[in-house]
Each structure stands twice: as C-alpha cells, then as structure tokens.
Chain A
Amino acid sequence: MNIQAYVVLSAILFTIGCVGVLTRRNAIVVFMCVELMLNASNLALVAFAKQHGNLDGQIAAFFVMVVAAAEVVVGLAIIMTIFRTRRSASVDDASLLKY
C-alpha cells in the first residue's frame, strides 16, 4: 500500500487548519482549526504506523484524541467566559493587552 498519499492528505489538512487559525476571527472557528491540525497529525501518525509495521503511531493517535478532548473542555470554558463578558467571540475584540 502506498502511504505517501495519506501523508500528503494529512499535510493538506494540517495546512488548511493552520491557515484557518491565522485568518479566521471567531474564537470557536479558530479552535476548530486547531482541532483539524491535531487530527491531521493523527492521520499522519496512523499512516506512518502502517508503514513501519508497529503500533506506536496508532497508540499515539488514541492519546492525541484524549488530549484533544481535554483541550476542548478547557478551551470552550475559556471561550465561554470571555463570550459572556464581552458578548463577542471575536479574537479581534479582546485587545486590552498590547505592546
């Protein structure tokens, strides 16, 4: 099986996530793009695990899912608090701290 295609796909997904983080304004969408980056890494890990014929990468993918879930809990809590305070989830609005 050719794993190169999977790695290329994961790189494309990672890039989409990365561009999304840099260009989108809504904190929730930014956060979703980060999740896309993590899942792109998962795809790469699983593809490489297949290539090397060991299970390290697949197990790592499970750990990454757990970590991503924990990150969602913390992240949504923070975004929720700031949304309730400011009535806006735009990352541009939170600009009291600068220079």
Chain B
Amino acid sequence: MDAVFTKPTIEYADIWPLVLVFAVACIGVVIEAFVPRERRFIVQTVLAGAGLVAALVGTVVVARDLTVHADGAARGAIDVEGTIAVDGPAVFFWGLILIVALGGVLLFAERRLEGGVSAFAGQAAALPGTEAERQASKIGLEHTEIYPLLMFAVFGMMLFPTANDLLTLFVALEVLSLPLYLLCGLARRRRLLSQEAALKYFLLGAFSSGFFLYGVALTYGFAGSMQYADINEAVRNDLSNQSLLLIGIGMLTVGLLFKVGAAPFHSWTPDVYQGAPTPVTAFMAAGTKIAAFGAILRLFYVAFGSERWTWQPMLWVVAILTMVVGAVLAVVQTDMKRMLAYSSIAHTGFLLTGVLGVQQASDLSDGEVTSMQAVLFYLTTYGFAMLGAFAVVTLVRDSSGEATTFARWQGLGRRSPLVAGLFAFFLLSMAGIPLTAGFVGKWAVFTVALSAGAWPVVIAAILCSIIAVFFYVRVIVLMFFVEGLPDGEVASVTRPSLLTSATIAVGLAATVVLGVVPGPVLTLAGHAGQFLR
C-alpha cells in the first residue's frame, strides 16, 4: 500500500482552553519534581486556579467567535480532523466544568478545617494507624499531586462532551476517570473507607469501560468509521448488520450510564461519594455528571439521531428506574453523604427525562425550550447546588473529622443557624421548591419531556420528586426541630477559611439567582443552540 502521510490540521484558535488546561496539568507534574516541598502547596494552588481562570476567559473568547452556519441552529466548527466539535453546547459545557473545577480547587486548598493541613492523606503510602502515618501528619506532609490530578480530570471532562469521534470519546472517558480513581483513595481521615471507595470505583469503572470499548468496536464494525457524522450516515442508509449497531449502542450506553450513575449501573455511587474525601466528592458529583451528560447528548443526538426509536424506549425505562431507585433508597439513608449520593442518582433520572425531549427548535412553538436548553440549565443548577451542599458537609465536624451521620446533625440549626440554614437552602433547591434554581430546572426538563410525548416518564418523575421532598425535608426537620443530644455526641461547625466560604457563597448566589431570575441563563443555554453535525 502506498500511503502518503498528510499533516493533520489542528485549530489551536478554537481548542486552546482545552490545551491550556492540559498544559497546566503537565506543568503541575514538573513542579512536583523541581519545586521544594514547602513551596509546592502555594505554587500548585495558584497555578491550578490561574490556569482554570485563564481557560474560563478563553472559553468566553472562543464562544464569542464561533462561526454561525447557514441554518442558524448550530454555531462553531469541527476541528482536529473531525475529532473535536467546538460548538455552542460544547463551550457551555466547558464553562460549566471550569467553574465547578474552580470550586473544586478552592475546596482542595482548604487547610483551616483540619488545623493547618488539607483533607488529603499526608502520605498515601504510609499504612493507616502506623507510626509512619503519625509522623507524616506531625511534620505536616501533604500530597500536592492532587492539583495536577484534578487538572487532568478537568481536561478529560472538557474533552468528553466535545468528542466527535468514538476513539476520542473513549480516551476522554479514561482521562477523566483515572485521576478520579486516585483522588478517591487519598482521604486523610477514615482511610480504610477511602481506599475501599477507590477500589470499588476503579474495578467497576474499568469493567464498564470494557463494555464501552466493545461497543466502540461493534459500532465501528457497523459504520466503518469512528466519526459521528459517518456513523449517522451509516445509520440512516445502511440496513445490513443491524444487530452490530444495536449491540454497539447498548454497550456504549452501559459505559456512559455508569459514568452518570444511572440505575441499574448506580451501585458505585453511594459507596464512592461516601468514602472519597468530601472536596473530591463535591468536584466529582458536579463535574463528572456535567461532562458525561454532554457526551450522552452528543452521542445520541448526533451519531444515533436517526436511530431515535431504538434508544428512546431504553432510556425511558432507565430514566424511570433511576428516579425510583434514587428517591426510594435515599429515604432510608442515615448518612449525609450517602443521602446526597442517592439524591444525585435521582437527579440523573430527572436529567435523563430531559434527554428524552424534543431536540429541534424548529419543531417547537415560540417560547418553548428545547431538550438541550433544559438539560444545560438543569446541569447548571445541579452543579452549583451539589458543590455548595458538599462544601457545607465539610464544615460539620467532631473530634474524628467530618461528622456525616444523621444523629450528629441533630439540632444543628439551633447551634449554628447560618450553616444549617445554608444547607437547608441547598436541599430545598435540590427538592425543587419554587423560588430556588431546582424548581426552574425541574420544570424545564418535565416540559420538554411532555412535549415529546414521554408522559409516563414525567408522571414517574413527579411522583419521585414528591418522595424526594420527603427525604430532604426530613433532614431539615432533623436540623431545626429535633432536640440536640448532649455536647460531645453532636457535631459542631468549624470555621472555614475564605476558600470554602467563597465556594459556598458562589453556590448560594447561583442557586438564588437561577431560581429568581432564570431568564439570562436559560437564554444563554438557548443561545448555545444545537450540536454541530
């Protein structure tokens, strides 16, 4: 074969925020090798924070320069030889992920709560309960590798919803997952739980990515190409080998639904959310879900858009099952992080309800929202509420670190009304009470699903929302209306540094603003338009 190598064109002007985040992650690794230990913390946090802010500015710049195409529905360009699509929704996802990641960096850098050290293990290699571990925390060792790991995860998350090619999608999936597996196992306190969470997350994650990859292989076997546009073409025209396509779609879906934590692939979620260090949980709960929903939307709308009648019934069932499992199991939880994990499973179900909606703006009358708009808005509200709620969880502590059991939270509202009030507000937003962001998000996803005729899913969603209100309100009752146990058996609020306070304040402000005046963000999400095909 006489192959000629042609140099690929890479449009750096479009993808530079992505490249920047990756470069910062690599520089972070180099810093670990060359900067003296005592200066690493400050250098790493400043670098990570500055890198994320610069990438955020870059995202805004890129978003303003997107090419408008003739039909007006989609803006942007397909770059790097068809592997990365930088379009309206993609830059929206970038912005959202970067904001969540900034919150993540602030929470990672919090040192006041643990009395001068971070929430991460001083020396992960030292065995729990040994002299080496005590020594490590006595001399104040810290793992500053968490910042490059976070940046690699952010890079993967940004690449995930922009991937326009199955191979890029797979690589992005792994790049976002591998650092998170490690971060989960690095808690300073309760290290056995943390290591167990990492093991479970890793083994199940690797298992699901095996399914995902086989799905990639089968879909490639069907279409003869990895690119979404070619797959869509093949789906539309090629009627042979349907079984390859169907099994391929099924297996790809397993991998993606695992990442968002949808039933029946949700079983890792509560264990990992509970065992991981809370700053990691906050970052992961918000970031992974945003990125994975971006990937799901692009894969199903762009690559399998013509095969809608095949995957839609499957997602109906998964959405209903996810909401029921999340809402019902959250009711019986007695641990705050676990309860929030099940509530995030229920949110996955609500988001899947939105995915089932109408995609084309042209199919709708004026003023109605598209599926994309609804899901983007819901992800925004969800991201801020989760970040804020988990940030509050880091504050409530007793002598053994964070106190997450319900019993320890009894009467917290009487001892620390401000913190308990903030937590209650985040819970009310997640429950979807009017005048909070969650209400507008829920309303948006339910209406798009209704207009697409998915009324059984919407009925299930409304019933599950009612169950969800019950378990959120139960926590509020526990904090404000239950007599606290004597001192020493309850947790108290530790005063955080400015970093955690800032994260909570941003989460709070976003939740209030999105609830009271949702217009601008809904317009922004609408302005993101459709995926470029």
A99 to B207, CA, bound (A): 21
- Point out the residues of chain A lying under 8 angstroms from B213, CB to CB: 37-38, 41, 64
* Total inter-chain residue pairs, C-beta < 8 Å: 129
Partner of B221, one of A7, A40, A63: A7
Least CB distance, B180 to chain A, in whole angstroms: 10
- Point out the residues of chain A lying under 8 angstroms from B226, CB to CB: 56, 60
- Point out the residues of chain A lying under 8 angstroms from B224, CB to CB: 48, 52, 54
The interface-forming segment of B187-195, B359-367, B462-470 is: B187-195
Is A85 in contact with chain B by the CB < 8 A criterion?
yes
A71 to B224, CA, bound (A): 27
A70 to B214, CA, bound (A): 18
Partner of B210, one of A38, A59, A91, A96: A38
Least CB distance, A57 to chain B, in whole angstroms: 6
- Point out the residues of chain A lying under 8 angstroms from B185, CB to CB: 78, 81
Partner of B196, one of A40, A47, A94: A94
A96 to B96, CA, bound (A): 34
The interface-forming segment of B167-175, B308-316, B393-401, B495-503 is: B167-175
> Are A78 and B220 within 8 A (Cβ)?
no
> Are B192 and A85 within 8 A (Cβ)?
yes
- Point out the residues of chain B lying under 8 angstroms from A86, CB to CB: 192
Chain A count of residues within 8 A CB distance of the other chain = 47
> Are B195 and A82 within 8 A (Cβ)?
yes
State which residues 443-485 of B face A: CB under 8 Å.
none
> Are A78 and B195 within 8 A (Cβ)?
yes
Partner of A96, one of B166, B193, B203, B206: B193
A47 to B197, CA, bound (A): 37
> Are B210 and A97 within 8 A (Cβ)?
no
Is B198 in contact with chain A by the CB < 8 A criterion?
yes
A21 to B209, CA, bound (A): 13
> Are A77 and B210 within 8 A (Cβ)?
no
Secondary structure call for the A interface:
helix
Is B373 in contact with chain A by the CB < 8 A criterion?
no
Is B111 in contact with chain A by the CB < 8 A criterion?
no
Chain B, Cβ-Cβ closest to A67: B174
- Point out the residues of chain B lying under 8 angstroms from A38, CB to CB: 210, 213
Is B275 in contact with chain A by the CB < 8 A criterion?
yes
State which residues 58-83 of A face B: CB under 8 Å.
59-60, 63-64, 67, 70-71, 74-75, 77-79, 81-82
Chain B count of residues within 8 A CB distance of the other chain = 43
> Are A97 and B170 within 8 A (Cβ)?
no
A59 to B211, CA, bound (A): 19
A31-B206, A45-B217, A67-B174 known; A91 vs B182 contact (CB < 8 Å): no
- Point out the residues of chain B lying under 8 angstroms from A17, CB to CB: 210
> Are A85 and B170 within 8 A (Cβ)?
no
> Are A34 and B207 within 8 A (Cβ)?
yes
- Point out the residues of chain A lying under 8 angstroms from B271, CB to CB: 97-98
Least CB distance, B411 to chain A, in whole angstroms: 25
A41 to B218, CA, bound (A): 9
Is B509 in contact with chain A by the CB < 8 A criterion?
no
> Are A34 and B196 within 8 A (Cβ)?
no
> Are B199 and A78 within 8 A (Cβ)?
yes
A82 to B206, CA, bound (A): 17
- Point out the residues of chain A lying under 8 angstroms from B197, CB to CB: 97
> Are A57 and B220 within 8 A (Cβ)?
yes
- Point out the residues of chain B lying under 8 angstroms from A34, CB to CB: 203, 206-207, 210
Least CB distance, A79 to chain B, in whole angstroms: 7
A63-B171, A85-B192, A97-B275 known; A78 vs B202 contact (CB < 8 Å): yes
> Are B174 and A70 within 8 A (Cβ)?
yes
- Point out the residues of chain A lying under 8 angstroms from B124, CB to CB: 81
Known contacts A37-B207, A56-B167, A74-B182; 20 additional CB pairs below 8 A are: A14-B214, A27-B203, A34-B203, A41-B214, A45-B216, A45-B220, A47-B221, A60-B216, A64-B213, A67-B171, A75-B203, A81-B124, A81-B195, A82-B195, A85-B191, A95-B196, A96-B192, A97-B196, A97-B197, A97-B270
11 A-B residue pairs with CB within 8 Å: A21-B203, A37-B207, A44-B214, A74-B181, A81-B124, A81-B185, A81-B195, A85-B195, A94-B196, A97-B193, A97-B197
Interface residues of B (CB under 8 A from A): 124-125, 127-128, 166-167, 170-171, 174, 178, 181-182, 185, 191-193, 195-200, 202-203, 206-207, 210-211, 213-214, 216-218, 220-221, 224-226, 270-271, 274-275, 332
**Lowest 8 A-B CB distances belong to which pairs?**
A37-B210, A48-B221, A52-B224, A44-B217, A97-B271, A41-B213, A94-B196, A34-B206
